[in-house]
Structure 1
Amino acid sequence: MTTRMLVRKVAVLGAGVMGAQIAAHLVNVKVPVLLFDLAADMAPTLPAARGSLPPGGAGCALGRPGGGAGPKSAIALRAIDNLGKLKPAPLGLADDAALIQPANYAEHLALLQECDLVIEAIAERMDWKTALYRQVAPFIAPHAILASNTSGLSITTLGEALPEAIRPRFCGIHFFNPPRYMQLVELIATPATRPEVLDQIETFATRTLGKSVVRARDTPNFIANRVGVAGILATIQEAEKFGLAYDVVDDLTGKRLGRASSGTFRTADVVGLDTVAHVIRTLQDNLDEQSDPFHASYGTPAVLKTLLELGNLGQKTQAGFYKKVGRDILRFDLASRGYVPGGQKADEVYGRMLKKPAAERLRLLRNAEGPQGRFLWAILRDGFHYAAVHLQTIADNARDVDQAMRWGFGMRQGPFELWQEAGWLQVARWVQEDIDAGRALCSAPLPQWVFDGPVAQAGGVHTPEGSWSPAQGGFVPRRDLPVYGRQVFREGVLGDGQVPFGQAGATVFEDDSIRLWTLPSHAGVLIASIRTKMHAIGPGVVEGLVRAAELAERDYQALVVWQGDEPFSVGADLQAMLPAFAVAGVDAIEGAEQEMQQLMLRLRYAAVPVVSAIRGMALGGGCELAVHSARRVAALESYIGLVEVGVGLVPGAGGLTYIARRAAENAAASTDRDLLKFLAEPFKAAAMATVGTSALESRRIGYLLDSDVVVAHKDELLSVALNEAAALAGAGWRPPMKRLFPVAGRSGIATIEGSLVNLRDGGFISAHDFHIASQIATVVCGGDVDAGTLVSEEYLMALERKAFCGLIVHPRTQERIMGMLSTGKPLRN
């Protein structure tokens, strides 16, 4: 076997919430998928969670579902229908649910023979899983891989239920919920799993599914849930010890601490308290004092027991540690078994401490006298202690632990990274002192490798040579599978010596707004990376991109616009515009808008191809920059849209001109030449500030074209964009010819305004919304001209500037701008 695995079709066994969402993500990345569950007549009473019943029936007839009792694949069908109700959306395009093929174990087992990968995702019951394996094993293709999506059961024990021929092709593949959005996938081998099988799955998960992979040992809850849930339990215990309320703890353990913004208790609510309890039970049932010195800390907290008894399972039941009543967020009170007003915040002194460099931050927290500071030191100490003691048993090396916590629990740094950054030996001594003094969760000392030998000499577990592996007694390099060749800046860990993207390659030009640079692998392609906050487009960026186009035409074959992190760009820098507006009035704004419009045309008609590599948000001017490029390469999780209506403006850098031009082009390619039919959806998107919720939806709206490339893995974006740019240049790129195109004219404006009147008079939009939408209609229809009049892009851009400048002096628009700048949220007035 090679590391390349051709996956033509996948089967997912179990149409529960997790199985259905895995199937949905396979469809997102264009992998045909079968979603199996019980035949409906085997499950007369369907539980709320699909896929949670034991498998039954051994038939494999291929009869089509039907009959008066309803289709036999009803469980899978209902799960597919339910995908549209889940938030966040599992599907990049809701309509793609129809691409998931429902199946049942009674009729369709023979279809498994067509599948190259079979993923089992039924409920976490060893007996149910092994019974299902015995049922499906005769139908697994001789080359196919079978993988279990268990979150903590023994992969080795599961594999023992399989025939000898399948065991080498069996492993664990643990997706995190929700599978579309969570970056982490854990792979777990059994003693019988062939190494090349793991390489093949890792390659498929990385390239096709866009996931980041760690390999875990076959221990309870693997890596991320083992460390993460132990951390949640420690946080609950330390919070009780120091008398801290849940909302205070969440304020301390969210973004301030470099973790998920939801903190600890809100995260538990989102995950589901029943799920948290299940993971805790896995620790309780499969470990003891001999196998895990922290076992005594795995008791189910009293507050969790109480919430489970009350049926308050978190977000899924609208009540858990928190409960929303109207606009108020209430907090659970264990003493009264009810909810009390929430909203408490942490003492800001600790917020300031958490902004300090790592070494000073930990020193201040360790020496803090207040309960909040002592609590913070305690949970960090507990995390360092736990990770060090368990490293050898749960992972091959420290890198896999740190990356699992980053990708699975939203941490900015893993525990070893923070420890190393703060000063390895000093922090180790502090932790050991607390262990010796009885302040830690258990009395197990830190492993000897922490204090002596290569780790102590290197100042931590991560080095340019690799990351520490206690089992191997050395630093282990990263796996170098061919799939990682497309990740120009593969996500690493602190201390691994990787050159950050901002310092890589050869700089051609650099200032505070932009960096123009090249990579040796694609020396003929110039790269432009915006350096402003949120990659906003101000005068410096406009000037820098014009310079990039000039340099690319003179010295290079192509230009790629790529940011090393999210977002691609949030658009025009409003704050940079306001001082000029205050001094010079609307003339300054018109001049700035005209410069942005000229930039867009400069890029569109550049003599070399310009490729925008999009990841995250491309809003307003960021969207306009993208649509005026020759090609777009977008990460699946790209959110593209013209959002200026949110601040009371219209798109002013060519976005409306693009809508009008594309409508004319689409009409010319159709037998139906009615321009209004091709304007309706893009007009609505601009007037309602609609943002594509994925690259797939952005393509449907029209901000991406069929010729544009969607990339599953964010770290492959730059490589694909560089290759696309080089390919366009190599194919003899010529910019499009400037040409006139027809517009819908005054009759089109009248038709659109007629529908807007109904929305305004019905109270669905405000008078100012109506005014803005009318301005958008005027531009995309070409103003006061006859239908079919031929216009230029420059003509429409002049209409854009007129509408933009007329709105920016409007009091209602100024209220919206100030509201957005002060609160970060749109103001509807």
Structure 2
Amino acid sequence: MNRFHVKKVAVLGAGVMGAQIAAHLVNVKVPVVLFDLPDQLAPTLPAARGSLPPEGAGSALGRPGGGTGPKTGIVAKAVEGLKKMKPSPLGVAEDAELIQQANYEEHLALLGDCDLVIEAIAERMDWKLDLYKKIAPHVAPHAIVASNTSGLSISALSQALPDAIKPRFCGIHFFNPPRYMYLVELIATPTTEPQILDDLETFVTSGLGKGVVRAKDTPNFVANRVGIAGMLATMKEVDNFGLTFDVVDDLTGKKMGRASSGTFRTADVVGLDTMAHVIKTLQDTLSADTDPFYASFGTPAVLKTLLEKGHLGQKTKAGFYKKAGRDVLRFELESGEYVPAGQKADEVYARMLKKPAAERLKLLRHAEGPQGRFLWAILRNSFHYAAVHLATIAETARDVDLAMRWGFGMKQGPFELWQEVGWLQVARWIQEDIDAGKALSKAPLPKWVFEGPVAEAGGVHTAQGSWNPAANRFEPRRVLPVHARQLFPELLLGEAGPRFQEAGSTLHEDKNIRLWTLDQEVLIASLKTKMHTISPEVCEGLQQAVEMAEKDFRGLVIWSGDEPFSAGADLESTLPAFIAVGVAAIEDAEGFMQQTMLRLRYAGVPVVSAIRGLALGGGCELGLYSARRVAAMESYIGLVEVGVGLVPGAGGLTYIARRAAENAASSTDKDLLKFLSEGFTAAAMAKVGTSAIESRKLGYLLESDIVVPNKDELLYVAVQQAKSMHDAGWRAPHRRRFPVAGRAARATIQGQLVNMRDGGFISHHDFHIASLIARVVTGGDVDAGTLVTEEYLMTLERQAFCELVQHPKTQERILGMLNTGKPVRN
């Protein structure tokens, strides 16, 4: 059995991508050393950070934070910059200190300890080749060497490497920002050993949490080849139809099932210089002979103008758009100035884009208005381009569609949408436009589009696999051992595979919850409500799940298949009862939620919450009252009830008080207020962990909880955790009383709140809510050290919750959130 294990990674190049790749490695607990050029003028770093002995001098090289010295100023500046970037490339900013710093002059011996070397320097072939010659003697004999390039030839790069390294060399293309973008493309050379690519895919998939697409060694590979060509085509059609950037972004964002940033905002985020570089790669490496769409690869006039002005997008705070105070402006090429933005698409097209795919495209195909004709044109161009180039850029149509989903935020790839509408009908429409000279290229659609297996199957994705035009067959997915951890991988339209909604054996199902099992050993509870909100009916289902699990299973896993884990209590469903019956209905509902949380906490089997995406309010409490949490890296956890003018009411404040007592009990410092302050602040300010790592720091995840890099491995890991906990003899915690901080601590907190209110930092209603939170977490009007039960504190929670529900300002906040989805500040 292959046991390739990445114990340490070297990243060469501390630019934007290299530094962020290093940051993500730190996020997933992989030791990393970040290299760049020596900085002769950099000041010596403090001795406390450590410095390297001469090259090859021994064991001091391996410690985190080591490897710094008088010539690592470039890397030090890059690492410091990671702390300030938004969105943050780090789970928590202080983890930047875990990146070991090095330069090419003094520290190349460090490469000998690395199992993977990722080169991520500037996109210059000559620079990369020079660097390879320099590092080659120091690379470990088993290490994989990979170039992070967005389009340079991987085979050409490999020529600078000695024969011993060539079999272990390949391309690896992260998308920016590396922490958040799911796609990673892997590219082999003719001399790359197949096992090397399998090993790297295994690490990237499970270790880094990414989705891998294997690309052919062609300019810009798969996603950028199709995506950038699509952006260029879109810009060309914008000129053809005379539309403005803001209208185009409104049309090509969420309304089309694409990234909400649309076309031009996406370009600003990526960086106009980066986009220009990718375009130049297409221009320099392709020609009219090798790409029939080459004529449309010219750099758009507006992009040239912005680059000349130094407006590179988000990084320079000006690109296609810029902000002026609270106003957003868009660039106007004719005047060379920024003008007010905010124009929206015509409502008729907004309605049109909501219709089923077949009806939608038929309407767009025959639209008379410029916005409708524009939409048809960009869709036709994407279908046309993907079909013509499929055989040369990817192995199968699956690779193209997944690359566009994962790299460009599309809900569907071009082949999926084409297939959903009706394969042959769309093909005829495209060919008619080609023949009429309306398309970007005169190149006809390939024969396989109209004849043979694809035409007979009605598309490129089938139960047998996805179309490989080079092999003239449908090919199933590549299977590696790591893929077995993805119990329900992301499927494309037309593909066969397990879908969690119907998988396993269903033991109970209603419109709110499904209780089911994959293996008759662990019960799974999946919420079915909108945003997986928690209603009284969901609570009934969870209590039923506990009873079933205690009787017949080794554990219970709460996992709902997709995001979010849970957006919290279902306030909307309780409002009619509140209006009809009054606050008693709210108190009953909150009491039932609290009972459910305690039922989970003291269940006779381990309860594991598998968290992905949002776990807010009641969703956070659902996790807190589980025996263990398994969280995807991109999980956002917090008690946010203050935002709707309420307090956590399903045990969240009780948890904060209990954890403070438990932490104090294991410390020599018995001042409960010190252990309580962070939890109180998080709840009173509605703090949300912006990663699973930060959620751990806030106390919503514990050190014993598991953070899973790959979202699709979440259920597998959660089920294994439940089984191992059971097999280890797990038992529920004892019900015991614990001390609270009492009225003196409450008075201290209250004094701080008064200062914040009087200083204008919080409103009077915020002050009132925070005061109620302080009352609950300190135990009410009792002496410090008074022993209480969870039920006692939950009663205080309910009282505070019900008091606020009746408050006019809280009602304003609730209705505002339900109507607009945005918090009301009052």
2:237 is aligned to 238
* Deviation digits for residues 449-493 of structure 1 (CA, Å, limit 9, x no counterpart): 111111111111111111111111111111100000110001121
- By how many angstroms is 1:62 displaced? 5.7
Contact 1:4 1:203 in 2 (8 A): no
Aligned twin of 2:659: 662
Q: Aligned partners of 2:499, 2:420: CA distance in 1, in Å?
A: 17
Contact 1:62 1:108 survives alignment (8 Å) = no
- Aligned twin of 2:762: 765
2:42–2:72: 8 Å Cα contact kept in structure 1? no
Residues 363-405 of structure 1: CA deviation (Å, up to 9, x unaligned) = 1110111111111111000000000000011001100000000
Residue 710 of structure 1 aligns to a residue in which SS?
strand
Match of 2:588 among 584, 587, 591: 591
Q: Offset of 1:157 from its aligned partner?
A: 0.5
Give, in whole Å, the separation in 2 of the partners of 1:182 and 1:356.
29
1:258 aligns with 2:260: no
State the Cα distance separating 1:20 from its structure 2 match: 0.4
SS at match of 1:707: coil
Q: Give the counterpart letter for 1:240 in structure 2.
A: D
Aligned to 2:418: 419
Name the structure 2 match of 1:689: 686
Is structure 2 residue 715 aligned with structure 1 residue 707? Answer: no
Q: Does the CA contact (< 8 Å) of 1:3 and 1:196 recur in 2? A: no
* Residue 342 of structure 1, CA deviation: 1.1
Q: Deviations over 1:131-182 (max 9, x none)?
A: 1111111100111110000110000000001111111100000000000010
Residue 48 (structure 1) aligns with:
none
1:591 CA drift (Å): 0.8
1:792 maps to what in 2? 789
Name the CA shift for 1:43/1:456 in 2 (closer, same or farther; >3 Å).
Answer: farther
- Shift of residue 42 of structure 1? 7.8
Give TM-score scaled by structure 1 length: 0.96
Alignment partner, residue 392 of structure 1 = 391
Partner of residue 11, structure 1? 10
Tell me the equivalent position of 1:817. Answer: 814
1:771 shift after superposition: 1.0
* Match status 1:560 vs 2:557: yes
**Mean Cα deviation higher: 145-154 or 70-79:** 70-79
| Shift, 1:60, TM fit | 4.7
* Preserved CA contact (<8 Å) 2:644 2:823: yes
Contact 2:532 2:565 in 1 (8 A): yes
State the distance in 1 between where 2:820 and 2:138 align. Answer: 58
Does residue 604 (structure 1) correspond to residue 589 (structure 2)? The answer is no
1:732 paired residue number: 729
1:8-407 to structure 2, matched below 5 A, reads 8-41=7-40, 60=55, 71-407=70-406
Counterpart amino acid of residue 806 in structure 1: E
Letter in 2 for 1:81: E
Contact 1:62 1:107 in 2 (8 A): no
Q: Give deviations 1:269-294, integer Å, cap 9, x for gaps.
A: 11111111110000000000111000
C-alpha displacement of 1:499: 3.3
Measured in 1, the distance between the counterparts of 2:431 and 2:788 equals: 75
Q: Is the 8 A contact 2:40 2:70 kept in 1?
A: no
1:620-642 per-residue CA deviation (whole Å, 9 max, x = no partner) reads 00000000001111001111100
1:684 and 1:423 map into 2 onto residues whose CA distance is: 55
SS at match of 2:83: helix
Unaligned runs of 5+ in 1: 45-58
Once the two structures are TM-superposed, the CA of residue 759 in structure 1 deviates from its matched residue by 1.2
Question: Is this contact kept in 2: 1:549–1:559, CA < 8 A?
Answer: yes
In structure 2, what is the Cα distance between the partners aligned to 1:463 and 1:800? 54
Amino acid across the alignment from 2:341: G
Please give the alpha-carbon distance, in whole angstroms, between the structure 2 residues aligned to 1:761 and 1:774. 14
SS in 1 for 2:501: helix
Superposition deviation, residue 732 in structure 1: 2.3
Q: What is the CA-CA distance between 1:554 and the residue it aligns to? A: 2.1
Deviates more, 1:533-542 or 1:19-28: 533-542
Q: Offset of 1:361 from its aligned partner?
A: 1.1
Task: Tell me the distance in 1 between the aligned counterparts of 2:341 and 2:33.
Answer: 45
Q: How does 1:453-602 map to 2 (within 5 A)?
A: 453-519=452-518, 522-602=519-599
Task: Say if 2:443 is the partner of 1:444.
Answer: yes
1:614-668 CA distance string (max 9 Å, x none): 0001000000000000111100111110000111110000000000011111111
Q: How many angstroms does 1:187 deviate by?
A: 0.2
Whether 1:652 aligns to 2:649 is yes
Partner of 2:777: 780
CA distance in structure 2 between the aligned counterparts of 1:481 and 1:677, rounded to whole angstroms: 49
Letter of the structure 2 residue corresponding to residue 471 of structure 1:
A
Q: In the alignment, is the contact (CA less than 8 A) between 2:423 and 2:459 conserved in 1?
A: yes
After TM superposition, give the deviation of residue 61 of structure 1 in Å.
Answer: 6.4
User: 1:339 aligns to what SS in structure 2?
Assistant: strand
- Give the drift of 1:3: 5.0
Q: How far apart are 1:70 and its partner, in Å?
A: 7.5
Question: CA separation in 2, counterparts of 1:116 and 1:129?
Answer: 20
CA shift for structure 1 position 825? 1.3
Letter in 1 for 2:695: S
Deviates more, 1:154-163 or 1:763-772: 763-772
Deviation larger for 13-22 or 314-323: 314-323
Counting aligned pairs with the same residue, the percent is 73
Amino acid at match of 2:201: E
Aligned equivalents of 1:828, 1:360: Cα separation in 2: 43
Paired residue type of 2:716: S
Q: Give, in angstroms, the shift of residue 578 of structure 1.
A: 1.2
Contact 2:9-2:115 at 8 Å conserved across structures: yes
| In structure 1, distance between residues paired with 2:389 and 2:69 | 51
Q: Normalised by the size of structure 2, how large is the TM-score?
A: 0.97
SS state at 1:501 partner: coil
Cα contact 2:42–2:73 (8 A) shared by 1 = no
Residues in 1 aligned to 2:739 and 2:746: alpha-carbon distance in whole angstroms: 14
Distance 1:553 1:192 in 2: 55
Tell me the CA shift for residue 557 of structure 1. 2.0
**How far apart are 1:93 and its partner, in Å?**
1.4
Structure 2 counterpart of 1:292, one-letter code = D
Quote the offset at 1:733 in angstroms: 2.3
Does the 8 Å CA contact 1:648/1:813 hold for their aligned counterparts? yes
Preserved contact between residue 3 and residue 203 of structure 1 (Cα < 8 Å): no
Where 1:419 maps in the other structure, the secondary structure is: helix
Question: How far apart are the structure 2 equivalents of 1:771 and 1:540?
Answer: 31
One-letter code aligned to 2:244: A
Q: Which moved more, 1:255-264 or 1:538-547?
A: 538-547
